[in-house]
A and B are shown apart, each in its own frame.
Chain A
Amino acid sequence: MSRLTPLVVLLALAGCKGSGGVDAGSPGPDARWLQGALAPETGTPRDGGTLTVRLPLEPTGLTRLHDRFNEGTMVRLTVGPLYETLARAHDGQLTPLLAETWSETADALTITLRAGVKFHDGTELTSADVKATLDVVMDPAKPTAGFRAALDSLRSVETPDARTVVVRWSRPWFLARHTLLAALPVMPAHALQGDFDTLPIHRAPIGTGPFRFEKWEPGLSLSLVRADGRAHLDRVVFRFLKDEGAAMQAFEKGELGLMTRLTPSAWRSLETQPWAWQRSQRIFFEENAYAWLGFNQRKALFVDPLVRRALAMLYPAELVEKTVDLGLEPRTTCPYFPGSRSCDPSVQPLAYDPAEARRLLAAAGWGDSDHDGVLDREGVRFSFAFLAASQSVKMARLLPLFLDTLRHAGIEARIETVDVSAYLSRVRAHDFDAMALSWASADEVQDNFPNFHSSQAAQGNNYVGYSNPEVDALLERVRTELDADRRAALEREVHRRVYADQAYLFLGRRPALDAALRTVHGLKPSLGWYDLTAVWISN
């Protein structure tokens, strides 16, 4: 008992911490700093130094091919500098990367690889490596369904010589070409032999990128070192710091150069810290990411779209935006990149309207027949659990607000917290009533087939079990439509229907909220994160 007493006392004292507020004598941050816009670069890049990056979570593996890992943003950030794709996507254009050139016919894509490219283990990149990577992806026995779904029109891969890859398609599909060229990381063929689940390359990547893998200390950090002359930095160290308070202290001491994925409250709290304006820059940039609450539509409680609309009307969106998101995560209704032609700007979010929600619930047959304070229908109480990851700061704040409004409408909801790995396992096994997730993509181009098509409810990303034959048909047409304008029109229709059905309770867009020390230069944010080859450290 005596060992635990100091915890209480320390916590009580921690609450009495000094204000740490703004020094009235020092000038405040300028408008650029407040907006999170980076200052224009001055000075000449210098080689050397280590960039220490804070990650809020540890990646579960270091490969994007395996389904177990490919969804994670942390995986994307950490393996990004290690691997390369055949081409680089930027502003809707593809520029050569590992591929020197490519040419197309109606049903084939011929790629010529750049000569002299070597993997980090010294072996030369050949067409056999591209074919081996594609063979792994297309093998239905392997857990690579994420990439396979995007490449399912691939019919065959031929390698007439060491530098040429010929890919043939079974049918036209806009996403397959883009995925093959700009999203698929090319891995060495020799490292893909053996039991795919336990391949060493999943934990010690071998790529062709500007950085090579050095070491991974589970629970602590992951180090990458400069592979060749393309980068300025000697080393990039990703430190896994779940506790945001501890991470902020390390940042203040200069132990971290770049803070990624801050919560809105931590990002805002920097505004009151004079050291933060003087020694760091805040970075705000739009990502193709949005958060949503999902109700398991396999369960009788949530089958009726009327009920899901009522739940959306009980969601205190404005309040969450103000108190939880602090104005940094504007509400969205669209499952595509916000502001793109795929979103219909006329779709307005449902307003918070408890009275209308009660009417909808009554129309759906819910009432309090046994006067116990909870709605019921045919003997079933409107009671369910929100599954939440214990590490989610946002859910810890958002859910009590939502539960409060649900309770006042006679809906009994509770929170069931589990750790992240158990959370993802249960979501994939559809073992939940309600849950929250974010979708993020490093690309503007995206296909919502895996998320909303009813065929994906059993094993795909359609975790909530959404099913609407009309949306299914639209999603199928989107996949085969090669004309960008007509495809955007179809996607806008998907947007309208998915929102009308409340397939998800759409929350907000998720911009990246980062901060970097002023000694870190060359940070140019994009949808795919930062290009670390351009980053350098000044004295």
Chain B
Amino acid sequence: MRRLWGDRGGRRSLLFLGTLLVLALGADLLASDLPLAVRLDGQTWWLPCLSRPVALQGRSLADAEWSWRTPIPWGPLQTVASTGEERPEPPPWAPDAHHWLGTDELGRDVAARLLHGARVSLFVAVFTVLISLGIGLLIGGVSGYAGGLVDAVLSRLLEVMQTFPLVFFLIALLSLIRVQSLWPLVLALALTRWTDVARLVRAEVLSLESREFVLAARALGASPARIITRHLLPNALGPVLVVATFGVGSAILLETALSFLGLGVAPPTASWGELLTEAHRTLHHPGAWWLALFPGLAIASTVLAVNGLGEAVRRSFDGRS
């Protein structure tokens, strides 16, 4: 980690991604239609933006004795139906003092949706990578260590998975899944992402299993499971981390593409892909540049930062070796 922080590119990427993570996790405290605290009808409500009490929903805060709004006083799902904003022209509205990044066709605040969308997109990306990492480590480790028939079967499975056209496979898989939550999407993405990790782990294990420390463990009577988990996988982890880091960027783009195709996160939940879909639907609005530009920038800069971090991780491992 110290080596990574010492790398200028790595430090910048870590700072960017760290900030993004904080913003995403704190999205409810940063952008909400309900305040951080309010005193209304003689009662004080703390963090209603998190608890969302029915009694406060739809209530105007004009009657409040005092209220403490979130920095962006709009929720990600809040349309003109509940904001009550009236302007001569119907939305989309260009960026201004009220809506820093403008609104979409339904009057939803782009900044609020970007923040909340970051949480969804990062959740999908990170958990996709973690699950695919788990599958890849397990299959790659077992395949490399066991060899013989097990290796042959698992290697063919890996090759079969790799020959499937990725997006086609995901479209087919997601069309079959009825439950519209984030987890099926994460699992579907993870099912397509583990092969790179597995192939790499298998190669690392094959090169490590003849090393002295593995032979020593085997001579001491360690079980195959112990040898794989305690000796082989930890030593294969360096290159795997590099692939996994790149995988985060790839998963963000895949989630974006799937949401764009209507197979990702169910609308109106904000995700970066969903924001781009909205932008595409409103392309006939001349000059509504903010609808595609800000989500596009967010996706591009996050993927660049993740790739920068991946490069830094690789440099740090290269330096250590």
Residues of A within 8 A of B (CB): 1, 4-5, 7-9, 11-21, 244-245, 248, 265-266, 269, 272, 316, 319, 322-323, 326, 354, 368, 371, 373-375, 385, 390, 393, 396-397, 399-405, 407-410, 414-417, 419, 422
Contacts and interface: CB of A to CB of B under 8 A. Distances in A.
A401 B79 contact: yes
A423 B269 CA distance: 20
B284 A265 contact: yes
B175 A419 contact: yes
A14 B254 CA distance: 20
Contact of B268 (A8, A373, A400): A400
B77 A323 contact: no
B257 to A, nearest CB: 6
B317 interface: no
B262 A390 contact: yes
A410 B254 CA distance: 34
Contact of B262 (A319, A326, A417): A417
A403 B268 contact: yes
Interface in B272-321: 276, 279-281, 283-293, 295-297, 299-300, 303
Interface residues on B, range: 35 or more
Contacts of A8: 253, 256, 276, 296, 299-300, 303
B292 A401 contact: no
Nearest to A352: B81
Nearest to B307: A1
Given A5-B300, A15-B292, A316-B81, A323 B286 contact: no
A11 B262 contact: no
A86 B293 CA distance: 58
Given A8-B256, A12-B292, A316-B81, A415 B267 contact: yes
Nearest to A389: B262
A321 to B, nearest CB: 11
B162 to A, nearest CB: 15
Nearest to B83: A404
Given A5-B303, A401-B80, A414-B180, A245 B283 contact: yes
Residue from A12, A18, A401, A417 whose CB has the most chain B CB atoms within 10 Å:
A12
Nearest to A316: B81
A11 B279 contact: yes
A419 B267 CA distance: 14
B82 interface: yes
Given A5-B300, A15-B279, A390-B262, A401 B54 contact: no
B54 A323 contact: no
Contacts of A4: 250, 253-254, 256-257
14 contacts: A4-B256, A9-B296, A12-B295, A12-B297, A15-B296, A17-B287, A244-B284, A272-B286, A323-B90, A399-B267, A400-B106, A404-B82, A405-B58, A422-B175
Contacts of B290: 15
